[in-house]
């Protein structure tokens, strides 16, 4: 079972389903019957909403799309998830996340709770996310290739040559 098959069970209702539910609720209220209930556990989406859920530690699992443009929108979210000890995963496509929540695209989605039947699967995914993303030291420290630009390399070479000349002058003045 993948992340998407689990999240597919907790998709939010469509606009048509919501309209139907509201009609049924109104009809039940008019006749004095019991209104149909909303689904309690749903996938939450939207950058502001998910950020609030992470800050309040209500999110159980956060999925971040890798192809968000501009990247600065979600670049800080893994650090926040690490700080708040919320498991996160980086997934392949924002269109897949969007299809999950009946939108064109979605940069981030979060799962706040699941039914008892799916709790073991969620725990497994949380454990996997914690070890692969949250607690991965290599992922935290890898900020680039460590290759400097041409100007910086030239500046460092120039500085090293100046230091070598200075050392040679010191040795000559001391008579070594």
**Order of strands, edge to edge, in the sheet holding 61-65?**
43-45, 108-111, 61-65, 88-91
Q: Is the pLDDT of residue 34 over 80?
A: no
CA 101/CA 162 separation, integer angstroms? 61
Q: Mean pLDDT, the chain, as a whole number? A: 90
What tokens were used for 14?
């469509």
Angle of the 77-84 helix axis to the 47-55 helix axis, nearest 10: 20
Classify strands 43-45 and 88-91 as parallel, antiparallel or unpaired: unpaired
3-state helix, strand, coil in the chain (%, to 5): 55, 10, 35
- Most confident residue range from 23-32, 39-48, 102-111: 102-111
Q: Is the pLDDT of residue 35 over 80?
A: no
Classify burial at 61, counting beta carbons within 10 Å of its beta carbon; exposed 0-12, middle 13-18, buried 19 or more.
buried
What tokens were used for 121?
């699967």
Q: Is the pLDDT of residue 1 over 60?
A: no
Going by pLDDT thresholds of 50, 70 and 90, the confidence category of residue 148 is confident
pLDDT at 142: 63
């Amino acid at each position: 079972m993948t992340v998407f098959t689990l999240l597919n069970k907790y998709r939010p209702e469509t606009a048509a389903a919501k309209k139907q539910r509201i009609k049924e609720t109104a009809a039940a209220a008019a006749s004095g019957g019991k209104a149909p209930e909303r689904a309690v556990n749903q996938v939450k989406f939207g950058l502001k909403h998910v950020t609030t859920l992470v800050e309040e530690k209500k999110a159980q699992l956060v999925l971040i799309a890798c192809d968000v443009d501009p990247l600065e929108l979600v670049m800080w979210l893994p650090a926040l998830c690490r700080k708040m000890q919320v498991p996160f995963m980086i997934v392949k496509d924002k269109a897949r996340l969007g299809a999950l929540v009946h939108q064109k695209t979605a940069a981030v989605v979060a799962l706040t709770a699941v039914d008892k039947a799916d709790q073991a699967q969620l725990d497994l995914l949380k454990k996997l996310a914690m070890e692969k993303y949250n607690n991965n030291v290599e992922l935290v420290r890898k900020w680039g290739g460590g290759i400097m630009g041409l100007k910086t390399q030239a500046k460092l070479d120039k500085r090293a040559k100046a230091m070598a000349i200075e050392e040679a002058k010191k040795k000559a003045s001391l008579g070594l």
